Structure 1
Amino acid sequence: MSVYKDLEKDPKETLIKQAKALRAGMLGVQGSTQHMQPMTHYPDWDAGEIWFITSKETDLVKQLPPDAMAHFCLMGGDQDFQACLSGMLSEVNAPQKLEELWSPIAAAWFEGGKEDPNITLLRMTLREAALWGSSSSALKFGIEIAKANMKDEHLPDVGTHKVISF
């Protein structure tokens, strides 16, 4: 089934499936002058949270204001899925959560392992997600673009957009 159809049928389940297939997304704080930063995500969908393991030395952490509104963006590998999740981002001291999330991938970034004094966790408490899915069919895309160019009143039907709340 295509992402387009999946998104029409069950937006939240499509988000979960797509996020699981991706290694990282882009995280940024609303109103910040910083660029968004690539981050590996560790979602807890039941709790409506996404966790990130990072360093206290990053500009993102150093300049993170209290009650920061953040966005986390994902793009599917086939370019047929895009998502922008929003919610409150906060730095959290949660040793048990770090233990739960720890992996060889995370270990590669910290010389001192889980005991590295620069490790910190960020928790994004999700508010909503805007999701886009498009047809993976090049033929359908081509036909829709051709029809739109032949008729001024025709807009190409190549995707869908959904917004979900947490």
Structure 2
Amino acid sequence: MANLKKFEQNPQRQLLEEIKGSRCVMLGSPDHDQHMQPMAPQVDEEAGIIYFYSDKTSELGQTVLQSPGMVHMCHIDSDYQACVRGELAPHHDKATIEKFWGPMVEAWYPDGPEDPKLMMLKFVPHDAALWASDKSALGVFFEVTKANITDEQPDLGKSKHVQL
């Protein structure tokens, strides 16, 4: 269940923590004719930046190399959802590439940080639409049942738009 106190007090920090704790997010492309794709986020919480390892030869990699730009990134969990808009561009800093390097990344790039196909993408968030709930399955059932009896909307959580 999402922490609604944190959602109200510091939604920007909670967003980065949620993304950091997720295995993957759906990342868009500057070419809006392409579909979003699952990517593993590497979060620098202090800087508020999200990095992704990508392949220069992939459709996304080639698009970002040719025309970096605004994209959407979506994170969906059972009790926390976010749609984040920001700028996506290639990032060539070797220290950043090595900072997040690990066995999972090496599985995709066996030649290490110098792999010729490897590229890092830098996603700088601008704003986000957020939704969070602290309701258990029983809490959702209760709210829906109450709403059907009283003809009121169920209270399933909070939503907001934030600048990042």
Query: Same fold judged by TM-score > 0.5?
Result: yes
Q: Is 1:7 the equivalent of 2:7? A: yes
Q: Is 1:129 the equivalent of 2:142? A: no
In structure 2, give the amino acid aligned to 1:89. L
Secondary structure (helix, strand or coil) at the match of 1:164 reads: strand
Going from structure 1 to structure 2, the CA distance change for 1:63 and 1:71 (only over 3 Å counts) comes to same
Secondary structure (helix, strand or coil) at the match of 2:108 reads: coil
Q: Tell me if the contact between 1:3 and 1:81 (Cα under 8 Å) persists in the aligned partners.
A: no
Alignment of 1:43-122 (within 5 A): 43-64=43-64, 65-76=66-77, 79-122=78-121
In structure 1, give the amino acid aligned to 2:146. K
More off after superposition, 105-114 vs 43-52:
43-52
Secondary structure (helix, strand or coil) at the match of 1:125 reads: strand
Secondary structure (helix, strand or coil) at the match of 1:12 reads: helix
Question: Could you give the per-residue CA deviations for residues 106-135 of structure 1, whole angstroms, max 9, x where no partner exists?
Answer: 101013121210100111111012211113
Cα distance in 2 for partners of 1:31, 1:60 equals: 9
Scaled by the length of structure 2, the TM-score of the pair is 0.88
Going from structure 1 to structure 2, the CA distance change for 1:47 and 1:2 (only over 3 Å counts) comes to closer
Equivalence for 2:24? 24
RMSD: 1.9
Secondary structure (helix, strand or coil) at the match of 1:29 reads: coil
Equivalence for 1:158? 156
Cα distance in 2 for partners of 1:3, 1:91 equals: 34
Cα distance in 2 for partners of 1:63, 1:17 equals: 28
In structure 2, give the amino acid aligned to 1:13. R
Going from structure 1 to structure 2, the CA distance change for 1:31 and 1:63 (only over 3 Å counts) comes to closer
Q: Tell me if the contact between 2:29 and 2:63 (Cα under 8 Å) persists in the aligned partners.
A: no
Cα distance in 2 for partners of 1:140, 1:158 equals: 8
Unaligned 5+ segments in structure 1 are none
Question: Could you give the per-residue CA deviations for residues 32-71 of structure 1, whole angstroms, max 9, x where no partner exists?
Answer: 1211111111122332311111110110111235341111
Unaligned 5+ segments in structure 2 are none
More off after superposition, 2-11 vs 34-43:
2-11
Cα distance in 1 for partners of 2:143, 2:109 equals: 49
Q: Tell me if the contact between 2:68 and 2:90 (Cα under 8 Å) persists in the aligned partners.
A: no
